[in-house]
Amino acid sequence: MKSVTIPPASVARLPLYLYALETLQSEGMGTISSEILANRVNVNAAKVRKDLSFLGTHGVRGVGYDSAVLGQEIREALGLTRDFGVVIVGIGNLGAALASYDSFGAARFHIVGLYDTNPEKIGTRIGDLEVRHLRHLAADVAEHDVEIGIITTPTAVAQEVAQQLEDCGIRSILNFAQTVLHTENAAVRRVDLSTELQILGYYLRSDRG
């Protein structure tokens, strides 16, 4: 496994390339130029080539990249050649929506547990999963192979939940609550609607000088 470290900015674009590639492939394109990929993803073609060069890929000069090969190379770089177990904590509006969303990027990510603390939620089902009390988290994580935790609890308890996830050995957290989590080792990515709207607000404002 040739594990050259890829700059974070490039890593964040790899999923976009992968998705664009899959689309193009399904449209019957066997080889793809950096130019075409760049247009799909709205970036500079040189950036595409540089990003792909971190994978140690070899496109063919004068031709482009073989879409099947390149797709596989990106999948390997992202570690998408195996499955990941995912748990969701906080099965409210948002948590339930995520739980019922099955096709997480070509099915490498599998939701294997749903947790809440509200007695009214415990025992309800979403798809073929039952919502369990958070107190079972540790045992469940130990038993199944869970690597990613998604937090969709109210903001006030998100930090506490993150701690529990870390205590169970989970090293990757996706946080939908409106707070910045402090973790010791876990990688955290934050997704927050309010933040995004506020950023859009800034650019709306500067529109009118």
Ligand X SMILES: NC(=O)c1ccc[n+]([C@@H]2O[C@H](COP(=O)([O-])OP(=O)(O)OC[C@H]3O[C@@H](n4cnc5c(N)ncnc54)[C@H](O)[C@@H]3O)[C@@H](O)[C@H]2O)c1
Question: Of 15-23, 42-50, 89-97, 199-207, which part binds ligand X (CB under 6 A)?
Answer: 89-97
- Residue 44's binding partner out of DNA, a copy of itself, ligand X, none, with CB under 5 to 8 Å set by partner kind: DNA
Q: Compute the distance between CA of residue 90 and CA of residue 27 in angstroms, rounded to an integer.
A: 39
Residue type, 157: V
Q: Compute the distance between CA of residue 19 and CA of residue 165 in angstroms, rounded to an integer.
A: 30
Question: Of 41-49, 72-80, 135-143, 148-156, which part binds ligand X (CB under 6 A)?
Answer: 148-156
Contact present, 89 and 149 (Cβ < 8 Å):
yes
Phi/psi at 122 (nearest 5 deg)? -60, 135
- Residue 57's binding partner out of ligand X, DNA, a copy of itself, none, with CB under 5 to 8 Å set by partner kind: DNA
Among 97, 106, 139, 142, binds ligand X (CB under 6 A): 97
- Residue 91's binding partner out of DNA, ligand X, a copy of itself, none, with CB under 5 to 8 Å set by partner kind: ligand X
Among 51, 66, 73, 116, binds ligand X (CB under 6 A): 116
Could you give the string, one character per residue 160-179, with x where binding to ligand X holds by CB under 6 A and - elsewhere? -x--------------xxx-
Question: Does the protein bind a copy of itself through residue 199 (CB under 8 A)?
Answer: yes
Structure token digits, residue 191: 């997704």
Q: Are strands 125-126 and 129-133 parallel, antiparallel or unpaired?
A: antiparallel
Closer Cβ to ligand X, 33 or 140, answer by number = 140
Contact present, 147 and 170 (Cβ < 8 Å):
yes
Q: Compute the distance between CA of residue 148 and CA of residue 141 in angstroms, rounded to an integer.
A: 10
Residue whose entry in the numeric block shows the structure tokens 């390339």: 17
Residue whose entry in the numeric block shows the structure tokens 């958070």: 134
Residue type, 190: R
Contact footprint for a copy of itself (CB under 8 A):
3, 5-6, 11-12, 14-16, 18-20, 40-42, 77-80, 84, 86, 93-94, 96-98, 100-101, 104-105, 108-109, 147-148, 171-172, 174, 178-180, 182, 187, 189, 191-207, 209
